[in-house]
């Protein structure tokens, strides 16, 4: 199996040529329901048909994953006939109940730069949506997870606890949640805090290399998640030398980050222009 390459083709067809249990980690963001065509036929999927459409691809992803491998799915839902459609949650249930994936954690990608839209008027009964979902699945009972690379910087207030300058014992520091903390002792410095399950990254890169290449060639550019989001999952979910797969590689962000951090990678996309430009972006930016 060739690695460190982009493969043009539909992922369910390309993946059939992969060996069982050959991939360490899958990170992808497939076309969302009723969204743009992505430059290929039959890429716009109705919400009611989404699980049926994604099912064959999900089966191949499960097959090629190693027993200790993980699959991270970035996806978003939409409002249909006045209400938020449930296809995202139906898909999660399908992956777990029908394909036997384990749901490790549901992450929220919060985009603080989400622009104003029609919901901001208040007349549609809801706020604008400023987050997407990132569901982390494992194939087996064990999976790679590295917390240290994704720790966030301690707050200034945390310094006093790390230095043993907090006040009061456990009985003096009981929170409304019933959690209690002994602040009279020196806390262990882990190099940063657990970032939690809400990842706040602004998706504001509208003039990066891939966008410029698309503009120069007259190619409709795909929706892209930020590099920092891919870094969060690849650094925490893989080790150097692992094989990372993105079966809907688009602009190649997953593969770009994998290469940057010494992982092997394979990107698959049905749009040949995206494959070509993603490879060119890789050469220019790394």
For each of the domains in the chain, give its residue range(s) and CATH number, in order of start: 5-151+195-285 (3.40.50.150), 152-193 (no CATH)
Q: Which candidate, 152, 165, 161, places its Cα nearest to that of 191? A: 152
Q: What single DSSP character describes residue 61?
A: H
CA atoms of 6 and 112, how far apart (whole Å): 31
The pTM for the full model equals 0.91
Residuewise pLDDT in 10s, the chain (286 residues): 899 999 999 999 999 999 999 999 999 999 888 765 545 555 678 999 999 999 999 999 999 999 999 999 999 998 899 899 999 999 999 999 999 999 999 999 999 988 888 888 888 899 999 999 999 999 999 999 999 999 999 988 887 888 888 888 888 778 888 888 887 788 888 999 999 999 999 987 666 777 777 777 777 766 678 899 999 999 999 999 999 999 999 989 999 999 999 999 999 999 999 999 899 988 888 7
Interior/surface letters 46-85, b for 16+ CB within 10 angstroms, e for the rest: ebeebbebbbebbebbbbbbbeebbbbbbbebeeeeeeeb
User: Sheet containing 23-28: which strands, arranged edge to edge?
Assistant: 5-8, 264-269, 243-246, 23-28, 65-75, 131-138, 102-110, 198-200
CA atoms of 130 and 210, how far apart (whole Å): 24
Pure H helices in the chain: 11-14, 50-64, 87-97, 159-162, 209-217, 227-237, 253-260, 272-285
Q: Which candidate, 202, 248, 247, 199, places its Cα nearest to that of 222? A: 248
Q: Which candidate, 19, 40, 22, places its Cα nearest to that of 30? A: 40
Kindly state the tokens that stand for 135: 């569901």
Q: Cβ–Cβ contacts within 10 Å for residue 89, how many?
A: 13
């Amino acid at each position: 199996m060739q690695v460190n390459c982009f493969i043009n083709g539909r992922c369910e067809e390309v993946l059939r040529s992969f060996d069982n249990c050959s991939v360490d980690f899958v990170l992808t963001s497939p076309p969302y329901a009723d969204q743009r065509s992505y430059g290929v036929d039959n890429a716009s999927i109705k919400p009611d048909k989404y699980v049926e459409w994604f099912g064959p691809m999900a089966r191949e992803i499960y097959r090629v994953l190693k027993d200790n491998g993980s699959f991270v799915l970035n996806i978003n839902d939409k409002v249909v006939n006045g209400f938020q459609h449930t296809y995202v949650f139906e898909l999660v249930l399908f992956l777990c109940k029908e394909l036997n994936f384990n749901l490790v954690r549901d992450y929220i990608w919060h985009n603080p730069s989400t622009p104003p839209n029609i919901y901001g008027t208040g007349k549609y009964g809801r706020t604008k949506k400023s987050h997407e979902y990132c569901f982390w699945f494992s194939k087996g009972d064990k999976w790679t997870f590295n917390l240290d690379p994704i720790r966030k910087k301690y707050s200034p207030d945390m310094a006093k606890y790390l230095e043993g300058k907090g006040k009061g014992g456990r009985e003096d520091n009981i929170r409304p949640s019933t959690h209690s903390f002994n602040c009279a002792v020196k806390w262990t410095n882990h190099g940063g805090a657990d970032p939690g399950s809400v990842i706040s990254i602004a998706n504001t890169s509208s003039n990066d290399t891939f966008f410029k290449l698309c503009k120069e060639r007259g190619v409709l550019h795909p929706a892209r998640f930020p590099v920092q989001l891919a870094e969060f999952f690849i650094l925490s979910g893989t080790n150097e030398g692992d094989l990372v797969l993105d079966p809907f590689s688009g602009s190649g962000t997953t593969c770009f980050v994998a290469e940057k951090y010494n992982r092997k990678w394979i990107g698959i996309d049905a749009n040949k222009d995206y494959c070509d430009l993603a490879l060119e972006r890789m050469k220019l930016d790394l």
